[in-house]
Structure 1
Amino acid sequence: MIDSTDAHTKADEKPGRFQRFHERFMVEERVLSAAAKRNLFITGAVLIVAGLVGFFVVLDSILESDDLSYIDAPVEHWLESGRDGWLTTLMIILSIVFGPIAMPIIILVTTVAWGILAKHAWRPILLAGGMILGVIVVQLLAPIIARDRPPADEMMIGYDPTSSFPSGHVMGVADFLFIGTYLVFSRHRRPVITTLAFVVAAFVVLLTAACRIYLGYHWATDAVGSIMLSLVVLGIVIIVDTWRTVRVGSPEEVAESDRRPEAWGRNER
């Protein structure tokens, strides 16, 4: 005869469907030393502070029409002076690819494909969450700051009546590339490769910023302020990811983890 208390205990101990899903697809663990974990938290905090300080410095310059805002006209004139047929075509293509129509599709395809191929959802969800946070920030700040764009006759592919600061194009690309680069290469054991990946990401972000200025839709300080905000979002993602996934291990466990092949998002436990 089965004791009813034991039966209830076993039923209570059996994980539910949501718990099984969570443990299989959402729980990711990586073993690092205490110093490495602390450094990740410090990096995230530094990015948040530096990004906020940089953003408010740019914002103050814009509101007061001084300091950094003095670079806007010279940068715009310099890019406009180099306009050429092939370069304009390239800039228009970049603007469309990283624009409000194509970019959400790219993000959706990337996150879904990543989740399916890796059979794990934590990092794709974190990427999508960071992107959504960036969109919310732009949508909240742009109408409040209400900065005018460059003159309408300088806009090369149609008039845009929305506010200029911060730039949704630049911040969207920066969020996608910076967060994506961190989520992929933070698990890589070779710092040189991680550094090169961030250099490439930064180059594409700067190219996107130049594209928007070249086509007449943004000032240089719009791009700088947007990149600063993206650093804040990246810092938040690093802190959340570190808090959620990093377990401090013994020197032996850390060494064993270093010898493992990359899991690319699978549950390593």
Structure 2
Amino acid sequence: MTETTERPGKLRRFHERFMVEERVLPASAKRNLFIVAALLIVAGLAAFLFIFDSVLEADDVSMVDAPVERWLDGSHAEWLTVVMTVLATVFGPIAMPVIILVTTVTWGLLAKHAWRPLLLAGGMLLGVIIVQVLAPVISRERPPVGDMMLEIDHTSSFPSGHVMGVADFLFITTYLVFSRHRRPVITVLAFVGASVIVLLTAACRIYLGYHWATDALASIALSLVVLGLVIAVDTWRTVRVGTPAEVEASEARSSEATGAPERDRSE
């Protein structure tokens, strides 16, 4: 009887120490996070379905695929090809899993907390599953083999697993890190930086001849859905509505832990 009661007690202590990450926020802040999550999911799904329909019907936004491909064919330069090749290698199927593994493990060890690293890993896994399910079913052909500047790839083109992997990693990591930051401007700048890298990755895949523009756009749209789901789960799991005094105390503890200056109470 004693062993039975001790075991749940140890599990509970382990869970509270390494898995529980409580944030005390006003009710309005929690509601806004759920609204943002819902908007991302709805907007991402709507954008993906619109792009998917245009690809099936060969109209609307899919009409940009050929002009973009021709424009990039005429923009090839030796230095640009080197840059794009480096990007393709860094964010490719070999290096990217290593980057994700190192990030999640290092984050968990340094923070001594597993919630956000596990949420990042879960979001990445969800993105991989989505691509692996959709790509063979949709079975869209890639651009001509003659346009591929590195190795030949005969797998399905839509959506782009490379672009979605990078978008998932950067968007989710940016949210999980900067959602705890109390300065919205820094959070916005972080998302702008992440978006620039995602767009560069998309341009890289198109430039090197492995994807159409709509493949990349559809992947980014799906990444917004994954990001919305991550925000919803994180908010549901970590946010507790508190009084103004509790919110202020929570922010003070956060400032002490991160070394960040306390917010001016007159703001």
Task: Calculate the TM-score normalised by the size of structure 1.
Answer: 0.92
**Residues 23-172 of structure 1 mapped to structure 2, 5 A cutoff:** 23-172=16-165
Cα distance in 2 for residues equivalent to 1:235 and 1:11: 40
Task: Calculate the TM-score normalised by the size of structure 2.
Answer: 0.93
Q: 2:236 aligns with which of 243, 253, 259?
A: 243
Cα distance in 1 for residues equivalent to 2:213 and 2:181: 34
Q: What one-letter code is carried by the residue in structure 1 that aligns with 2:166?
A: V
Cα distance in 1 for residues equivalent to 2:121 and 2:90: 18
SS of equivalent residue, structure 1 residue 247:
strand
Cα distance in 1 for residues equivalent to 2:109 and 2:6: 30
SS of equivalent residue, structure 1 residue 31:
strand
SS of equivalent residue, structure 1 residue 22:
helix
Q: 1:210 aligns with which of 203, 220, 223?
A: 203
Cα deviation for residue 50 of structure 1 reads 0.5
Cα deviation for residue 176 of structure 1 reads 0.1
Cα deviation for residue 74 of structure 1 reads 1.2
Q: What one-letter code is carried by the residue in structure 1 that aligns with 2:59?
A: D
Higher relative contact order (CA 8 A, sep 6+): 1
- After superposition, what is the alpha-carbon deviation per residue over 1:98-145, rounded to whole angstroms, capped at 9, x for unaligned? 111110000000000000000000000000000000000000000000
Q: Judging changes above 3 Å, is the alpha-carbon distance between structure 1 residues 154 and 196 closer, same or farther for their aligned structure 2 residues?
A: same
Cα deviation for residue 259 of structure 1 reads 3.0
- After superposition, what is the alpha-carbon deviation per residue over 1:203-223, rounded to whole angstroms, capped at 9, x for unaligned? 000000000000000000000
Cα distance in 2 for residues equivalent to 1:98 and 1:262: 35
Contiguous gaps of at least 5 residues in structure 1: 1-7, 265-269
Rg (Cα) greater in structure? 1
Q: What one-letter code is carried by the residue in structure 1 that aligns with 2:48?
A: F
Cα distance in 2 for residues equivalent to 1:56 and 1:76: 22
SS of equivalent residue, structure 1 residue 16:
helix
Q: Is 1:257 equivalent to 2:250 in the alignment?
A: yes
8 Å contact 1:187–1:262 — kept in the other structure? no
- After superposition, what is the alpha-carbon deviation per residue over 1:39-65, rounded to whole angstroms, capped at 9, x for unaligned? 001110110010000000000000000
RMSD: 1.6
Cα deviation for residue 13 of structure 1 reads 7.4
Q: What one-letter code is carried by the residue in structure 2 that aligns with 1:167?
A: S
Percent identity of paired positions between Structure 1 and Structure 2: 72
Determine the structure 1 residue equivalent to 2:265.
none
Cα distance in 2 for residues equivalent to 1:215 and 1:12: 60
8 Å contact 1:170–1:226 — kept in the other structure? yes
Q: What one-letter code is carried by the residue in structure 2 that aligns with 1:218?
A: H
SS of equivalent residue, structure 2 residue 24:
strand
8 Å contact 1:188–1:262 — kept in the other structure? no
* Range with greater deviation from structure 2 (68-77 or 221-230): 68-77
Q: What one-letter code is carried by the residue in structure 2 that aligns with 1:208?
A: T
Cα distance in 2 for residues equivalent to 1:231 and 1:144: 21
- After superposition, what is the alpha-carbon deviation per residue over 1:5-40, rounded to whole angstroms, capped at 9, x for unaligned? xxx699737743322221110000010000000000
Q: 1:199 aligns with which of 192, 202, 208?
A: 192
